[in-house]
Amino acid sequence: MLKKIKKKKRVNLIELLIKYVGAALIISLLFGAGYNKYIHHEITEQMKISAMDNSLYLLDRIKRINDDNSNENIIRDIDSSMSVNDHNYIELNDPFGTTFVYSFSDGCGSAAALIDESNNIIASNKMKLCTILSFGDNDGTWYQCPCTEESIPEIKQLYENYMELYSSSEISDNIQTYIQSIYVNKKDHTFIPCKGSVKLFKAVYSRAGDVLYQYNDIPEKEFEIDIQINDENYEFYEFDNNYDPGTDHDIKMFLCGFHGTPENVFDEMSSDMSFQDNNNYSGSGISYGDVITVYSNTPITIEENEHLLCTKFAINTKCTEIRIFYWSRVIILSAVLIIAAIIFCIVKNAKNKAAYAFEDHRRSLTNNLAHDIKTPLTAISGYAENLQKAIENNDAEKASGYISLILENIDYTDSIVERTLELNKLDYIRQINKTEINMREIAENILKKYGSMLVKKNISSEISGEMSLNGDRSTIYSAVENLITNAVKYTIPTGKIEIIMDKSSFKITNDIFENIDTKDLTEPFVTGDNARSKKTGSGLGLSIAKNAAELNGLKLSLSSAENKFTAALLK
């Protein structure tokens, strides 16, 4: 049973692009899905570590303050310390860079609350204006400017102004608080700023878009602080530009600024924090979704009373920092894959074109060779039948004529095969032996070879100029011989063949009956003559000449004008 062989389909550039660019997009989608899961896993694991470290740090700070028996404001100091020392963040790394996501990023948050047995939040990391004040030789103590329902309107306005500035800032920006003078209550560790300002400085970016951790000298926004009070519990202090006291009082100020979680974020995150009246209220957990939240509840004793330290750390996986980190990686990979796919398609298409062209050339060569051989073979077959009849009729004259015609067609067939083999041989030559060649000498020798044919057709010839080149003698000789042979065959009777040489060109011009189209003349079996059966040539000579010229770094140029045909070898 014969099996039908399916012919391989040819593909064009569009089909290649659809296939491989489509594959690149599918890989990008798979990468995007996998990388999204990786980021969520990495965020979760880092949040667990960050939340645990932060909880342990807060517990340590609270215990230190609690163990200081001389401290009369334990809760106040714990409250300040929880805002200043609350640090939660994650760090996303890959070969393209690092991105930090902090608890104050868009949609994220961190809440820490110290709850007593009556479910009252007695200390928290809610945003506060805090500073360290040092009097005399002590190391300094945290003081805060409390904003409560009982606070004076100027303090409430100060907090509102700061939140307005905070809301308009970016993560990379810097908000600085400058204090020129303050009121201090040493007894309860509180202070009220008198004169000063709060300024927002925009970050400086590199050309690549990276934050340089430098800030513009001129603030983007600012507001002044001007609060006047008359309270005997508060002492007035004034500072110069270095925060050194402007009076005789020995006071120093450090780290003055707003710290902690904004009130609205804290209230939302702390809504379900409560002291559970049992012995098993400690523990931790995590909730998943677009906002991943890690929480923990830790019992702690303060002033011999039981309290619960509740902490929460939430990261919005759709916040700007994470989205930029994720999409930049996905887009980079997609771009690389798509560009690689396009380059691959272009290269593959070029190779396919070459392979298709070679296949078409081979098919055309085979078809033309079969056609050109079939013609003389058919003639030979007919002459052989006539020869047989002539022999049977004892007609020696006719028999001799048929034999001559048979031999003529055999010679023509042999020349086609020989030239085809020569053309095929040139396709496989990879290296040539170069020597100095005198082109005039070669031209003269070949013209002598065809001298009798020139005389028979009454064709005149002329050679002028000199040319020397460095090339392979045998292939150059083949190129010149095929060009001269072509000229001899197609020059009209009483016409002229003229060979002109100079330093850069070798031209052969001959007279023809009419101008011809030279576009495809270097293709095998193209003769420029519709009557192939005339056997004026095989149509291989110019193909051989072209291949031989290109092997030697020359170009074959053909042209036809004013009933003249010109073939030129150009350096």
Judged on CB neighbours under 10 Å (0-12, 13-18, 19+), 456 is exposed
pTM higher than 0.85? no
Mean pLDDT for the chain overall: 84
Give me the domain span that covers residue 453.
430-571
The yes-or-no verdict on residue 534 having pLDDT over 50 is no
Q: Domain of 437: which CATH number?
A: 3.30.565.10
Domain boundary among 209, 236, 259: 259
Say which residue, 251 or 420, is predicted with more confidence.
251
The answer to whether residue 294 sits within a structural domain is: no
The answer to whether residue 444 sits within a structural domain is: yes
The answer to whether residue 101 sits within a structural domain is: no
Give kind and range of the element (H or E) at residue 488: helix 473-490
Domain boundary among 259, 281, 297: 259
Give the model's pLDDT for residue 106: 86
Round to whole Å and give the CA distance between 482 and 488: 10
> Phi/psi at 479 (nearest 5 deg)?
-65, -50
The answer to whether residue 362 sits within a structural domain is: no
The answer to whether residue 231 sits within a structural domain is: yes
- Average pLDDT on 89-106 reads 87
Give the model's pLDDT for residue 375: 64
The yes-or-no verdict on residue 279 having pLDDT over 70 is no
Tokens of 325: 């980190």
Strands 460-464 and 496-501, by their bridges, are parallel
End-to-end CA distance of the chain: 58
With a CB cutoff of 8 Å and minimum separation 6, the contacts of 527 are 521, 536, 537, 538, 539
Dihedral sign from CA coordinates of 209, 214, 216, 220: positive
User: Above pLDDT 90, what percent of the chain?
Assistant: 40
The answer to whether residue 13 sits within a structural domain is: no
Domain boundary among 218, 239, 259: 259
Alpha helices of 393-467 — where are they, by DSSP H? 396-427, 439-449, 451-456
- What is the band of 571 on the pLDDT scale with cuts at 50, 70, 90? confident
- What is the band of 245 on the pLDDT scale with cuts at 50, 70, 90? very low
The answer to whether residue 163 sits within a structural domain is: yes
Query: What b/e readout covers 224-242, taking b as 16+ CB neighbours within 10 angstroms?
Result: ebebeeeeeebeebebeee
The answer to whether residue 456 sits within a structural domain is: yes
Say which residue, 249 or 295, is predicted with more confidence.
295
CA angle 98, 100, 105 (to 5 degrees): 150
pLDDT in tens, 353-363: 888 887 776 77
295 touches 136 (CB < 8 A): no
pLDDT in tens, 400-417: 887 888 887 787 677 667
> Domains in the chain: how many in total?
2
507 forms bridges with which residues in the sheet?
500, 568
